[in-house]
Each structure stands twice: as C-alpha cells, then as structure tokens.
Structure 1
C-alpha cells in the first residue's frame, strides 16, 4: 500500500508507474487509430505529440488537486478547478491538433475551427478517459493509507493503554507486599529475610516480564506460587490454603499478570474478625484454554457490596486488559455469595512459550 506514499524511497516507483501507464495509453490509441487505416507508425507518432497536454492534465489533477483539495474535504473547489483545467487542456489539445499534427503530418485532413463543439467535446472526453484510471488508483491508495493510519493510531492507543494499565498495577502490588514486610520487621519475625528473598524474586520477574506482550504459562504459574508463598508467610496458620494445577502447562503463553489480581483480592478479604479464613485456587489447562477458579471466605455479616470487592485498582485493571487483549476469547464470572467470594476466569491461550 505504500506505492503512492510520497517519500524519496518511493518516488522512483511512482515515476515508473506513470511511465508504464503512458506507454500503454500511447500503444492502445495508436492501435485503435492506426490499424483501420493501416498506418500504425503515423498514429504512433501523432499520439506522442498529443500526449503532452494529457500528461500535464493528469499530473496536475492527481498530484496537486487531489492532495490539496479533494483529500482536504474542499470538494467544491476541487470540481471547479477540475472543470477549468479540463477545458483549458482540451483547448491546448486543439492547438496541437490544428497547428502541429494537421499542418505537418495529416495535411490531407481538413482543419476545423479551434472551438468547434464536436471536436472540442471529443478532446474533453479523451482527457476524461485518460485521467479516470490514475484518479481511481490515487483515490484507492489514499483510502488504503487512511485506513492504515487509523489502524496504526488504534494500535498505538492500545499499546499506550496497556502500558498505562501495567504501570497502574505494579505500584498497587508493591504497596501490599512492602506492607507485609513492614509488619514482619516491626514484630522482629524470623521470616523477614525469607520475605526479602521472595520480594527479590518477584521484582526480578516483574521488571523483566511486565512489558512483554506475553510470557510462558509456566513462568506465570511460578510467579503465582512465589506470591502465594509470600502471602502465606504473612498469614501463618490463620489461613487455610488449597492450591492446585491440572494439565500440561508447557508450550502455552498468556498476557502477564492476568491472574494475580484475583488472588491478591482473595487475600485481602478472606479473614474474619477472628483472623481466620480460607482460599481455594484451582488452575486447569485443557487444550488451549486456561481455567482459573478462585474462592475465598468472607467475614460473617460482610457488608461490602460486590462492586467494592471487584472494582479495585487490580481487578479493574485486569478486566480492562481482558477486554483489550481477549475480546472474544475469555469468560469472566464473579459471584458474591453469603460467606464466600468466587471468581472464574476462562481464556484462550496462545501457542508457544512466548
């Protein structure tokens, strides 16, 4: 689609296309006019003389009027200029016919007045014919370029939005993890050193993989395991956890950090007033589909509406990313039961590790 993209690299291609077009035009009309009379050479020579106004007319219309007027929505100005030009170049064509071709090469033909209506209209129609194909191609490429621009803008907008969503997510995650470390340090817990190591592993993974369009499912699950281990150090025996993975996790890839916000959310709301709670996490892989089910306990008489639980920064982030990256390839279900909160996510994975 970049043949008519006007830059130095493609200028030679444009000139070559014009040259081929005009050679084809001259050959076609030489055959049409020369074969019936059996004088192809004369017709060929005459077409070379008469082609100059046509080249000038087509060049001005396609290279000047269309970009400057038609493509800038100045339609009325374009048609006024177009009509003026076609009449002017038809008159120039009449001058060449009468004072060059008829005078020196077709002397046996009778000269007619310059503004003779039938002959003048014939030249107008010939100009209209010769400009139609270049105009159609120029319009086609312009529309293709505009479509490409729109697609590029949408793609750039999508990438910018995804980058923004990722950047929103990481401060939120780090805030929660560092709070856990802070609590352990205050209590002089022996787990502090292990927590620091886990944070280091998570940060290393986050820094290198967060900006990737996709990561291996195996790495994603390892990341989740590290996160869960980190949280279990924080909650000790107060939290009962069931975590399981079923199916083959190799040779699949997904957008990074799609599952973690839901797990993080379950830790946030699972404990009751006695600091007891439970979380069940089940991940299964069937063919190219990933199914994640997460359920956590809720405190008795928990009054926060589902909107408060499911629309925080992390959850709102992942919902938007799912809409952008898996628009027709995911199913997200969120249920707020009386004593538990349930999330089910099913999405189509990509083949390959990345």
Structure 2
C-alpha cells in the first residue's frame, strides 16, 4: 500500500478554500459548501489500470463512481452523486484517478475510499493483479444561518442531517457556554449535562428525528440567548468523541432588542410626509387657478352723439351702459 506523504504524488495541492492534510494512508480535506473539490488518488507508475472504485462505506449503495472495462458503470451509483462526480482525468494518465465532486454540501461529508485494480507485467512474472486502496476523509464547512428573534419569542434553530443517516446522538451547544445547551442520545435528552439557562426551554422539533430533522426549538427567548449555536450529529457507524466531532450546522442567533429612537421618529415622519403635503397644496392651488383664472370682460355700449348737445347725453349715459361678465 502506498503511503500518502507530503512529498508523494498523493499529497493534495492546496487552494484558498481547501485545506488538505496528508497523514499516513489517510488524507483529510476541509472544504467550503458550494464549491468543487478534488479527492486525490494516484496509482503506482508503470501499471495498467483495469478498474477504479470510489465508495463511501456508510452509504447504501456505497458506490460514488465506478470505472470498469474501459467505461463508467453508473448502475449502482448512489443517487446523491448523480451528475456531480467525474474522474479528474478520464484517460487516467500517469495513474491519476482523482475524483472531482461538484456543488459540495454538508451531506457529502464522510470517509471516501479509492480502490484501484492494477495489472502489472515484468520480465520475471507474466502478469499480476494487485489492488491499491487510499482513504480520504472529507469535511464540509456548513453555511452559517443568521436569524433574529425578539425577547419572549419562540424560535427554531434549523438543522437537518442526511435522511439515510442512523443518528446515535445529537448535541446542540454554544462555544461560549459550558456545559452544553442540550444533549440527545438514543432519542432521549440528557438534562444532566445541560446548561442551567436552557432547562425546560429547549427540545428537538422532532424527537424521533425523522428524515434527519434535528432542529432545536428554543422557547421564551431572552437577550442572553444571543450567540452562535452549533449542532453535532453523531451517526451510529461512528464512535467519535462528541467534543471532537465537527459541527453539522451553525446558527447565529441575535435576540438583542432593536434600538428605539423615539426622538427621531417625529423628525423622520416630518421629513417623509412634508413632500407629500407640499405637493398636495400645489395641486390644489393650480386647480383653483384654473377655475378662477379667466379675467372679466366688460363691454360698454353707448349711443352715438346727437345734435342735442352734451347735456342730453349725460342724462342717458347710465341707461345705455351694458356690462358683460364672463367667468
């Protein structure tokens, strides 16, 4: 079995978003969610590869990708990897059978095994068939969720494990608190290790954890509940120490009351409503001007001067004046 040392071809190149640690025959990779990650696997030189199997032993079926007889065999592939995996080099030049996994999610976390079947030939032995196996442990950082709650509210911190996972224990915790927030083991709570401030206020949304639902319900929220909550899901197939197990979900809760600004509120109201008030006055003024803006027209009719002289005209001037008003 080849050793995956930092100087060997099995050592993973490092990206800004991936950290790889090679130790013995185990390669550990940490990746962000939503990116493309490459799980490295390199066969020995001067060999002919007849089959490649990428598997995850905790899945059923366990096949992530299978190559045999010169082509990919997708019949037994686990559905969660459909259209998301491929060999980095389809021609497997220089023995490179690394696996490319796209759109990584927290469901992809686990231990992957790369099995390579080789056919060797040399001068002394006609032909030998050997198998090389490499193990890669992939951890995917969860995308943190940010939620807000007012004091006195009930809030749900959402978290869901893969539905195919048999859950042995669930731990919700806050890194700034000791002991833990809540511990569920074998579908029973363990109040003995629970932080006092959460007693009688927390429970799993579904005690049976159907479909991997391990969401936490927090009742009667207080300002002291603000903080970062981490959910660790321990499958039945793994016997890690709970404290060392990586979080499956991360939720940031802000329960601090929103600042109230009573002095500024009237000012804000005036600033908001003043333009509407001014525009209304202008519209009313323009409308009234349209109704009353026509000037009065005056028509005066006077008789032609007569031979009787000015005195006779003065007597009849008021009788012959006609005024017309147009509005």
Q: TM-score, normalised by structure 2?
A: 0.19
Q: TM-score, normalised by structure 1?
A: 0.18
